[in-house]
């Protein structure tokens, strides 16, 4: 764990130090918002809230990159990453995105909130060992503990069990939280997530993410969720767009909830309304039990 990261992060005082201590091309707006530059793209952040049922509050946010060219044309993230033609360029871009997210997030939220970050799958394959070390050094620079960051491993990494376990081990060894994705049983060419439950505790993620759509199209999701909870894993159901999906997430025992129904990705980190969650679940329960 980066135990030296104990001081609160003050962007106004630290920005020039950060720029001088890193290779990142960063810009600060008058309101303190940070953006990065990669080739002709201007990169900034949007944050989607993650809600905990048991704590009845927003416990963190998932970060998404937003980009523009010439301050006009918005690009999808995949369009930005497609410009990184080599592994070295990809590593540079992915690290820049995570730095921008960290700078924009930790200056605006409470000390208890968690930043959820997706790592590009090509980065995980190109960095052979010591995943998370460079970002840990950056977090040290801005005074943030690695335990406040949840690394989301892309679903495609499930296809390579050796890499999957290596990545989980490396990030957990540095005290990051790790979230892996549930893979539906029988997915062609993919390693079943059920196998996590048969491995040693040190080789399991802290959180398993399940797409809300899978709750209705994959008959094995309920059984996996039950076994995962029994094994001590936390479930995060994401892509929740409807009241029915929200209720289904509750019914399988998920604690963490994420999706546009609860809150869309926006520049300022917003909170989910506990009243919205409570009233939606009550209405769905009434609907299912009515004659």
Residue 51, helix vs strand vs coil: strand
CA 266, CA 243: separation in Å to the nearest integer? 21
Mean pLDDT computed over 98-114: 94
**Lowest-pLDDT choice from 129-138, 239-248, 279-288:** 129-138
**Lowest-pLDDT choice from 85-99, 238-252, 265-279:** 85-99
pLDDT tier for residue 68 given thresholds of 50, 70 and 90: confident
Mean pLDDT computed over 225-252: 94
CA 41, CA 85: separation in Å to the nearest integer? 15
pLDDT at residue 20 in the model:
64
b vs e for 113-132, b when ≥16 Cβ sit within 10 Å of the residue's Cβ?
bbbbbbbbbbbbeebeeebb
The structure tokens listed for 46 are: 């949007």
Listed ranges 16-25, 197-206, 211-220; the one with the highest mean pLDDT: 211-220
Average pLDDT, the chain: 85
Q: How far is CA 133 from CA 1, 127, 139, in A?
A: 10, 11, 10
pLDDT at residue 166 in the model:
87
**Domain residue ranges in the chain:** 11-285
Candidates 87, 97, 76; CA nearest to 26 is 97
Residue of higher predicted confidence among 161 and 22:
161
pLDDT at residue 21 in the model:
65
Residue of higher predicted confidence among 187 and 237:
237
pLDDT at residue 165 in the model:
86
pLDDT over 50 at 205, yes or no: yes
pLDDT over 90 at 136, yes or no: yes
Q: Which CATH architecture has domain 11-285?
A: Alpha-Beta Barrel (3.20)
b vs e for 217-250, b when ≥16 Cβ sit within 10 Å of the residue's Cβ?
ebebbeebbeebbeeebbbbbbebeebbbbbbbb
The answer to whether 181 and 153 are in contact (CB under 8 A) is yes
pLDDT over 60 at 129, yes or no: yes
Instruction: Write down the pTM of the prediction.
Output: 0.89
pLDDT at residue 288 in the model:
82
pLDDT at residue 11 in the model:
47
pLDDT over 50 at 200, yes or no: no
């Amino acid at each position: 764990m980066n135990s030296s990261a104990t001081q609160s992060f003050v962007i106004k005082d630290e920005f020039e130090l950060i720029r001088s201590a890193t290779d990142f091309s960063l810009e600060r707006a008058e309101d303190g918002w940070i953006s990065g530059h990669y080739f002709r793209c201007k990169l900034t952040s949007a944050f989607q809230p993650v809600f905990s049922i048991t704590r009845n509050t927003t416990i963190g946010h998932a970060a998404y990159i937003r980009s523009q060219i010439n301050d006009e044309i918005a690009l999808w993230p995949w369009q930005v990453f497609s410009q990184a033609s080599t592994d070295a360029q990809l590593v540079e871009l992915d690290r820049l995105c995570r730095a921008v997210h960290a700078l924009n997030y930790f200056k605006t939220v409470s000390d208890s909130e968690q930043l959820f970050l997706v790592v590009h799958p090509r980065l995980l394959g190109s960095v052979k060992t010591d995943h998370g070390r460079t970002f840990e050094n950056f977090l040290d620079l801005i005074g943030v503990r690695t335990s406040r960051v949840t690394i989301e491993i892309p679903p495609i990494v499930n296809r390579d069990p050796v890499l999957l376990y290596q990545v989980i081990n490396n990030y957990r060894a540095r005290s990051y939280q790790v979230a892996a994705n549930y893979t539906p049983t029988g997915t062609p060419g993919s390693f079943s997530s059920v196998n996590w439950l048969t491995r040693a505790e040190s080789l399991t993620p802290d959180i398993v993410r399940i797409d809300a759509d899978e709750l209705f199209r994959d008959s094995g999701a309920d059984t996996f969720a039950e076994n995962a909870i029994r094994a001590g894993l936390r479930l995060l159901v994401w892509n929740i767009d409807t009241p029915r999906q929200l209720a289904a997430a509750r019914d399988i025992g998920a604690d963490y909830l994420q999706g546009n129904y609860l809150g869309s990705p926006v520049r300022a980190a917003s909170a989910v309304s506990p009243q919205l969650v409570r009233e939606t679940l009550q209405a769905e329960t009434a609907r299912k039990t009515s004659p």
